[in-house]
Structure 1
Amino acid sequence: MPLLTLEQCRMHCRIDGDYDDAILDDLLAAATDAASAYLRRALFADQAALDLALDQLPQDMAAAVTGHEAAVAAANAETNAAKAKAMRDVADRRLAVATERSAQLLQGLPANDSIRAAVRLLLGHLYAHREAVVVSTHALDVPVGAAAIAMQLPFGVAALLDPYRLAATP
């Protein structure tokens, strides 16, 4: 379940009609993913969604471990050493991804107003500015003697998300 409805996204971006819904849906997913990655935590629309994911976690991890064991057994039976190593590497990577996802779920967070505001800011920025750099050729924006000016756009997202961010571990 997304953190915001399409109607909330349309209102925030001041869009009348549903002509940009597909874009908004993609940008909302990107904004939510960016917030989650920044926080190093899985984000959920509410506590019920988090609880559902946590309830499923033991079965998902058991399946990941079983899949890893089967893949390693298949790799051990492989006679080509390079192929066997690649099979083990893939199995290890898949288990590492499942383990990392598990850790993010265990630190999962139901979205609060600050997180939703940060996601809205990201969404609005992504919608209004399809590029990371704004280039202007407007006469009032350009210094004398310059043909154009480029500048990076600021974000207020970090200030909203910092209180909920987990510290990086070495």
Structure 2
Amino acid sequence: MSVIDIELAMKHLLAEPEDKDLVQSQLDGAEMAAVAYLNRAFFVDQAALDSARASVPAARNQARVAYDTSMVLAAAIEDRFQSCEAMADAQFVFSEALTAATRNARGMVINKAIEAACLLKLGHLFANREEVVTGTIATELPQSSKALLAPYRIGMGV
């Protein structure tokens, strides 16, 4: 579920009511892209942020338990190649779980700059529904969504 209200997104795009499902899907994608770029999650209000942060220790503990269990099972596999592959898979899943928990731990309440960046990305997704555009010249605007997100970015992100 999006942090940004779907009605605001619809107004931003001047979209028709029948486009609401498409807009919601693209809004979710725009927000996910922003979270990946920022390397942190954002939330609708302080209560949602506090709730997400409170869940971090349990999420990390659950990830550790699942990792330990997976490693024990992987070590029991007789074929060395399959055992190593199972260990690598366990490490990947563990890393992804820790990354998700860390994004919540370093989360923030959404602000107008992040909202604007997501709406810019949404506008691009809505206007350009295909990967290839023929017969036009596309130019990225100097005040793009990345410029709006950059001050809130932690680490390298995506």
* TM-score normalised according to structure 2 size: 0.88
Gapped regions of structure 2 (runs ≥ 5): none
- Compute the displacement of 1:153 (Å): 4.1
Count of paired positions: 156
| Secondary structure at the counterpart of residue 95 of structure 1 | helix
Q: Which residue of 1 aligns with 2:124?
A: 125
Give the Å deviation of 1:70: 0.8
Higher Cα Rg, which structure: 1
For residues 57 and 156 of structure 1, the distance between their equivalents in structure 2, rounded to whole angstroms, comes to 32
Which whole-Å CA distance do the structure 2 matches of 1:8 and 1:39 have between them? Answer: 22
Residue-by-residue CA offset, 1:85-109 (whole Å, 9 max, x unaligned): 1111111111111111222222111
Which structure is higher in RCO with an 8 Å CA cutoff and minimum separation 6?
2
Q: CA deviation at 1:167?
A: 3.4
* Cα distance in 2 for residues equivalent to 1:150 and 1:7: 31
Moved over 6 A (4+): none
CA distance in 2, matches of 1:35, 1:159: 12
Which residue pairs with 1:39 in the alignment?
A: 38
- Aligned residues: CA RMSD: 1.9
For 2:100, the equivalent position in structure 1 comes to 101
Q: Sequence identity, in percent? A: 31
Check the 8 A contact 2:34/2:118 in 1, yes or no: yes
- Counterpart of 2:23? 24
Residue 149 of structure 2 aligns with an amino acid whose one-letter code is: L
Structure having the higher helix fraction is 2
CA distance in 2: counterparts of 1:50 and 1:80, whole angstroms: 45
TM superposition score normalised by structure 1? 0.83
More strand by share: 1
Contact 2:52 2:105 survives alignment (8 Å): no
Instruction: Supply the distance in 2 between the matched residues of 1:73 and 1:156 (Cα, whole angstroms).
Output: 47
